[in-house]
Amino acid sequence: QIMLCQLASERDQDDVNIHLLVKQIEKRDSVLTSKQQIDRLLRPGSSYFNLNPFEVLQIDPEATDEELKKRFRALSILVHPDKNQDDPDRAQLAFEAVDKAYKNLLDPEQKKRAVDVIQAGREYVEHNMKEKKKQLKKDGKPQFLEEDDPEMFRQAVYKQTMKLFAELEIKRKEREAKDMHERKRAREEEIETAEKAKREREWQKNFEETRDGRVDSWRSFQAGKSKAKKEKKPRSFLKPPKVKMEQRE
């Protein structure tokens, strides 16, 4: 029982050490210079890296609203175009990424979604480690993984989390493209229906406007036909000349 208590205590201490290490890494990254922060926010693949608002702001998901506000202010000042007049265009893009991340975390629904993705990434890595160790035990091999190292574990969670954010973004874009296509098709059908109705109205209007003219023309035609009939004379037929029989002597 004493041994079990010691193991539990050691495990708790390991969890504390991991947490402290992660905090140290975040603190180290949080004091990057303006240029380094801009480079970080605009690095290759940033369109997917920056999907995680906590990663953009370099703040823990458990941070309070006040801590979030302070972090946003500090980071936004660092990357603001006014502070980086030697590279205003890139600074503007970095500032927009920071601003977007902050606004997402101010939205309870968006924040919960981000937290859920991060938690799912962590659970996936933990489950994967558990399955690997189970297989190692079955094979009679030492149950040590590179993810047992706190930094490697953090990197594995980070990669899996980024993958999940990317997959969600791809699905969102696919839904958006599908919705756009459906809206476009519906709009085209709406325009076609409207044009068809317009053509029918114009035809009906033209039909009504020319009705009197058509009636008058028909009456004139009928009157002319009747008059021609009355004036028509009996046809005379020419009688063929009589053929004289030729007499032979």
Is the pTM higher than 0.85?
no
Q: Which two tokens stand for residue 224?
A: 């002319």
What DSSP state is assigned to residue 107?
A: S
Give whole-number Cα distances, 166 to 90, 136, 196, in Å: 23, 31, 45
Closest CA to 75 of 86, 84, 85, 87: 84
Distance CA 136, CA 142 (A): 7
Distance CA 186, CA 183 (A): 5
DSSP string for 72-97? HHHHHHHH-GGG-TTSHHHHHHHHHH
pLDDT of residue 22: 42
Q: Which two tokens stand for residue 35?
A: 């240029």
Res. 161: pLDDT tops 80: yes
- Phi/psi for 47 (5° steps) reads -60, -25
What DSSP state is assigned to residue 58?
A: T
pLDDT of residue 210: 77
The predicted-structure confidence for 117-153, as pLDDT tens digits, reads as follows 999 999 999 999 999 999 988 889 898 898 999 999 9
Q: Which two tokens stand for residue 120?
A: 């799912």
pLDDT of residue 15: 47
The predicted-structure confidence for 180-239, as pLDDT tens digits, reads as follows 888 898 898 889 888 888 888 888 888 777 776 766 676 776 666 666 666 655 555 556
Q: Which of 29-38, 54-63, 188-197, 210-219 has the least mean pLDDT?
A: 210-219
Of residues 249 and 144, more confidence is placed in: 144
In this structure, the chain runs to a length of 249
| Mean confidence (pLDDT) of the chain | 82
